[in-house]
C-alpha cells in the first residue's frame, strides 16, 4: 500500500517536469515582419546625401521613409526568436539582416561606394532575402540586448528600411 502513493507521486512529479519542460519549449517568441516600399518608383537616397542629413548613420527615422520594416513586436524575452517575414513589395527584392547594436545612437559602419552597411564590421546573426510577394522564416537564439533589423540591399537602409528589436532577460 505504501508503494502505490509513492509511485503515484513519482509519476505526478515526472509528469509535472515533462509539462514544465514542454512549457519552456513553448516560450519561443514569434515576430511577424513586413518588408515594404512605396513601389518600384521609390526614391532612394544615396549614402552621401543621408550622411549629410543625419551626420552619420545613427538610427534616425525619416518621417517620409520610402521603405521600411514593420515588426509585430519590438520587445521579446531572450531565447529562440522566430521571424515570419513577408516581402510586401510588388516589384522589389528585400532582405532582413539581424545585427547586434550597443544603442540606437550608434553610428553604423557604412560603405558609401556600395550604399549599404558594412556587415563584416557590424556582425550578421542571420538574414533572409525574399522576392516580391514571398514569405519566409528565420529563427535565431537571441541573448538580451538591442538588435538592428535592416535591409542591406544597396540604398534600402538609408531609405528607411530598418527597425530596432530589444531582447530582455
**Tell me: the pLDDT tens digits for 4-20?**
333 333 333 333 333 34
Q: If you average pLDDT over residues 127-139, what whole number do you get?
A: 98
- Residue 115 contacts residue 153 (beta carbons within 8 Å): no
pLDDT for 99: 97
| Region for 20 from its dihedrals, namely left if φ exceeds 0, alpha if ψ lies in -120 to 50, beta otherwise | alpha
Read off the pLDDT of residues 46-75 as tens digits, 9 standing for 90 and up: 544 444 344 344 555 555 688 999 999 999
pLDDT at 3 over 90: no
* List of domains in the chain: 28-168 (2.60.40.420)
* Greater pLDDT, 62 or 110: 110
Q: What is the pLDDT at residue 131?
A: 98
d(CA 40, CA 48): 22
Q: What is the pLDDT of residue 53?
A: 40
Helix (H, G, I), strand (E, B) or coil at 166: strand
* Rounded-to-integer distance, Cα 142 and Cα 16, Å: 27
Is the model more confident about 42 or about 164? 164
Amino acid at each position: 500500500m505504501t508503494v502505490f502513493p509513492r509511485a503515484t507521486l513519482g509519476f505526478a512529479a515526472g509528469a509535472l517536469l515533462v509539462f514544465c519542460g514542454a512549457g519552456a519549449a513553448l516560450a519561443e517568441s514569434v515576430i511577424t515582419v513586413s518588408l515594404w516600399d512605396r513601389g518600384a518608383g521609390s526614391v532612394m537616397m544615396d549614402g552621401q546625401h543621408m550622411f549629410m542629413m543625419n551626420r552619420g548613420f545613427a538610427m534616425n527615422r525619416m518621417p517620409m521613409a520610402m521603405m521600411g520594416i514593420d515588426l509585430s513586436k519590438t520587445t521579446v524575452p531572450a531565447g529562440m526568436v522566430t521571424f515570419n517575414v513577408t516581402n510586401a513589395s510588388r516589384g522589389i527584392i528585400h532582405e532582413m539582416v539581424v545585427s547586434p547594436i550597443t544603442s540606437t545612437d550608434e553610428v553604423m559602419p557604412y560603405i558609401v561606394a556600395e550604399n549599404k552597411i558594412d556587415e563584416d564590421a557590424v556582425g550578421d546573426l542571420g538574414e533572409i532575402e525574399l522576392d516580391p510577394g514571398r514569405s519566409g522564416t528565420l529563427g535565431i537564439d537571441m541573448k538580451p540586448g538591442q538588435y538592428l533589423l535592416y535591409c542591406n540591399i544597396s540604398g534600402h537602409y538609408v531609405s528607411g528600411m530598418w527597425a530596432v528589436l530589444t531582447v530582455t532577460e
